[in-house]
Amino acid sequence: MVKNKQATQDKLIKAVGEVLADVGFSGVGVNAVAKRAGVDKVLIYRYFGSFDKLCLAFAQSADFWPSLKELIPDPEVLSAMGTAERVTLVLKRFTTSLRKRPLTLEVMAWELLERNAFTIELENVREASGLELNRFMQDLSSNTTRDSTDEIDWLAITAVLSAGMQYLALRARKINVYNGIELNKDEGWMQLERSIETLIAGVTT
Amino acid sequence: MVKNKQATQDKLIKAVGEVLADVGFSGVGVNAVAKRAGVDKVLIYRYFGSFDKLCLAFAQSADFWPSLKELIPDPEVLSAMGTAERVTLVLKRFTTSLRKRPLTLEVMAWELLERNAFTIELENVREASGLELNRFMQDLSSNTTRDSTDEIDWLAITAVLSAGMQYLALRARKINVYNGIELNKDEGWMQLERSIETLIAGVTT
DNA sequence: ATGCAATGTCACCGCATGGTGATATGGTGT
DNA sequence: ACACCATATCACCATGCGGTGACATTGCAT
């Protein structure tokens, strides 16, 4: 038995993610996490105060949500595009980033059912990130030559489309088909991407 | 104490819905449902075999999912429209019908996290309903004069858009704002509907 | 009215959960 | 070497869960 507070804390935080990944949200609890960390559960209360606080620590530690620079590593490239192409590209990247994060998806699904430390924390990160992204996109737009797309409600349009891709990413975890689209195959997702292209392109013509 | 099998079964089935509505999915269990029905939980096992089967009975009893004739009570009106208007209208109706069903939304959210009697049954109903709807829409289209919209991937487009509205309906239960859209106000939803109009109209021009 | 199956009640089991107090053991400064 | 405090362990509690067997009551056919 080695005694090292920091290491134990880290083990606990890591264990939350592992349990979440292994057995899903329903298995995430004091006993399971402590067992997984190979540590007594009482340490959760000693070091984090409560289980919720531990969850919160985990939510802050991992990169749950696609960061701005993950979505837009190349602002100068984007700024050379028209609004439609730019929005399309970012939506695609957003979807891809999301699908790469099984833990985020698990918590996002959770978020639709319960409000707890996890979901509230993710919510905060997401809101901040969304605002940042919108601001960024607006800045890019204002640098672009003004065109016929100015009076379009991009906020609402991206809301519907990003919500759609999020929902499909969530469903894909459990169910393979939605409305005839095969969510378990890349072909299905390409089909969806093409739809987004078509939809957004149509708006600007 | 009155003895009436049928009445007791009905009480149990009804209680599932009440518990689900009151405390959400996490409270749905043998004990809570039996208590709510004012009946001993052993009767669940006697009459339904298992708790899952009771849930299944409930899922089948309620009108969980918008029926075809709820979405399209007026096929002759729709058949007089162009494809774009028709798809738009049905999508709007679909959204409205969904938002009126808090229990369905609860189970749909549940569905993204767990597969159980409830969610699997709803899944079946939904699949059947979706197929029926798609077939119906296709029939309507074939009655319409052929136009430039023929080669469009309507399946994928309606998938994205309906998925988006579903996700937003789910989120609206817990969180009031998404990407700047106020999901707790009718104005927000009208904004979303207008986006759908714009998007679909754009595709066909 | 009587007998008996159908219906409903109750008490209990094993198990897992979140949470806590007393206790043992390791690391560290003197 | 010792003492001491932070660190970690263990045993335990109350509670709620799904599930089951033994028992009481009702209603109905004879």
Distance CA A33, CA A25 (A): 11
Q: Using the predicted structure, report yes or no on whether residue B182 has a pLDDT greater than 90.
A: yes
- By Cβ distance, the residue of A127, A159, A199 closest to B157 is A199
Q: At what angle do helices B83-99 and B154-172 cross, to 10 degrees?
A: 20
Q: Which residues of chain A lie closer than 8 angstroms to B162, CB-CB?
A: 164, 179
Band (pLDDT 50/70/90 cuts) for residue B64 is confident
- Provide CATH 1.10.10.60 ranges for chain B: 5-61
Whether A117 and A53 have beta carbons less than 8 Å apart is answered as yes
Q: What is the mean pLDDT of residues B63-79?
A: 92
CB pair distance less than 8 Å for A174 and B111: yes
Distance CA A54, CA B60 (A): 40
Q: What is the pLDDT of residue A103?
A: 92
Q: Which residues of chain B lie closer than 8 angstroms to A109, CB-CB?
A: 109, 112-113
Q: B179 to chain A nearest CA, in Å? A: 6
Average pLDDT, chain B: 92
Rounded to 5°, the CA angle A114-A115-A116 comes to: 110
Query: How buried is residue B35: exposed, middle or buried, by Cβ count under 10 Å (0-12/13-18/19+)?
Result: middle
**CA A96 – C1' D11 distance (Å)?**
49
Among B6-15, B63-72, B149-158, which stretch is predicted with the lowest mean pLDDT? B149-158
Residue A52: nearest nucleotide (C-alpha to C1'): C18
* Architecture per CATH, B5-61: Orthogonal Bundle (1.10)
Q: Using the predicted structure, report yes or no on whether residue B142 has a pLDDT greater than 90.
A: no
Q: Using the predicted structure, report yes or no on whether residue B144 has a pLDDT greater than 70.
A: no
Q: What is the pLDDT of residue B146?
A: 60
Q: Which long-range contacts (CB under 8 A, 24 or more apart) does A123-131 make?
A: A123/B175, A125/A59, A125/A64, A125/A65, A126/A65, A127/B177, A129/A65, A129/A66, A129/A67, A129/A68, A130/B179, A130/B180
Q: What is the DSSP letter of B146?
A: P
Q: Using the predicted structure, report yes or no on whether residue B43 has a pLDDT greater than 90.
A: yes
Q: What is the pLDDT of residue B148?
A: 59
Task: For residue A107, give both structure tokens.
Answer: 């918590």
The segments of chain A whose pLDDT lies below 70 read 144-150
Q: What is the pLDDT of residue A150?
A: 60
> Which tens digit of pLDDT belongs to each residue from B102-124?
999 999 999 999 988 788 888 88
